[in-house]
Amino acid sequence: MDLCVTASLISSLDVIVSVDTMVAHLAGALGKKVYLLLHTEADWRWLKGREDSPWYPTVSLLRQFQAGDWKPVVNRLAYILTKMTRS
């Protein structure tokens, strides 16, 4: 997909949930709220032991604690999104 088209689509959304770092980088650069789901061996650019990004203040990092176990990550995301929609 063309990067300009992707940026346009991202701009039309309130929140972005992604496992793809290109989308997360683009959305973060656009200042959109992003929840990025990361596996235990995430790319070094997302640092370690952080839930935020020093490069993109609107990005929240949701990390696996155990390799292959996405359930706690998805449950946390569901809690965050539910809380967001209620406020």
Number of Cβ within a 10 Å radius of residue 63:
18
> How many distinct helices (H) and strands (E) make up the chain?
3, 3
pLDDT tens for the chain, 87 residues long, are 689 999 999 999 999 999 988 999 999 999 999 999 999 998 888 899 899 999 999 999 999 999 999 999 999 999 999 999 997
The amino acid at residue 82 is: T
Q: Which residue range(s) make up the domain with 53?
A: 3-86
**Any idea which residue has 């990004």 for tokens?**
53
The model's pTM is 0.92
Say how many domains are in the chain.
1
User: Which residues on neighbouring strands pair with residue 60, listed in sequence order?
Assistant: 35, 52
Q: pLDDT, tens digit, for every residue of 34-54?
A: 999 999 998 888 899 899 999
* Residue 22, strand partner residues: none
Among 73, 76, 55, CA closest to 63: 73
Which CATH number goes with the domain that contains 33?
3.40.50.450
